[in-house]
Amino acid sequence: ATTGFPIVSGEPTIIVPKDTVMVEGTNKAPDTVTQGDTDALMEELTLTVTDGGDDGAVTLTSLTITRIGSGADTDVSEARLVDFATSDVLGSGTFTNGSLTFSLDFTITASTIQAASPATLQILLDIAANATAGNTIGVQLTNASAITLKEPDVLSDAISFPIRSNTPTIVSAAD
């Protein structure tokens, strides 16, 4: 008599749940910036998490901004990434060859998003006192590789890259 044992099945497929983050940019750049300006707001990033069955949280591990416009790296004395809700500086640095990567450990949760507003990050520039008047300066997130997340979470496919600010003209502090 046949008992039907052992039962043999194919290889199991393991589906790892993933939370997804949507990033939307809003240009906040003024028309002009002045040599020596501090905290010139260029771009706001709004991050919204969709709980995909993982833990309902997404951790941003790095964000790379690219300098745009006719200006040089030296026209910016410092760039900062700030959490709008807390005013905490999440990262700061200077541009090298037109880019700057902020190393982060910033977690956004879906429950926080649902209870309040999405997380908002701001990109601020300090304009060098000796920046070249007449140059233009701005920032952008060029493509999906500009944002890295802790696995297994993912970026939304609906993000429209590049995310970019306008490029204000640097004016002389003497004007």
CA-CA distance, 8 to 14, in Å (whole number)?
18
Could you tell me the CA-to-CA distances from 166 to 96, 107, 142, 144, 163 in Å, in that order?
20, 28, 14, 20, 10
Q: Quick one: pLDDT at residue 117?
A: 54
Which tops the pLDDT comparison, 164 or 174?
Answer: 164
Please write down the HEC assignment for all residues of the chain. CCCCCCCCCCCCCCCCCCCEEEEEEEECCCCEEECCCCCEEEEEEEEEEECCCCCCEEEEEEEEEEEECCCCHHHEEEEEEEECCCCCEEEEECCECCEEEEEEEEEEEHHHHHHCCCEEEEEEEEECCCCCCCCECEEEECCHHHEEECCCCEECCCCCCCEECCCCEEECCCC
Q: Quick one: pLDDT at residue 9?
A: 75
Which tops the pLDDT comparison, 137 or 109?
Answer: 137
In this structure, are residues 90 and 102 in contact, taking their beta carbons and an 8 Å threshold?
A: yes
**Which whole number is the average pLDDT over 124-148?**
98
What pLDDT, in 10s, does the model give residues 34-92? 999 999 999 999 998 887 777 778 899 999 999 999 999 999 999 999 999 999 999 99
In this structure, are residues 139 and 43 in contact, taking their beta carbons and an 8 Å threshold?
A: yes
Inform me whether the pLDDT recorded for 10 exceeds 50.
yes
Inform me whether the pLDDT recorded for 114 exceeds 70.
no
Inform me whether the pLDDT recorded for 154 exceeds 70.
yes
Q: What is the pTM of this model?
A: 0.88
Inform me whether the pLDDT recorded for 30 exceeds 70.
yes
Q: Quick one: pLDDT at residue 2?
A: 61
Q: Quick one: pLDDT at residue 175?
A: 59
Q: Quick one: pLDDT at residue 16?
A: 72
CA-CA distance, 7 to 46, in Å (whole number)?
51
Q: Quick one: pLDDT at residue 24?
A: 95
CA end-to-end distance (rounded Å), the chain: 99
Inform me whether the pLDDT recorded for 113 exceeds 90.
no
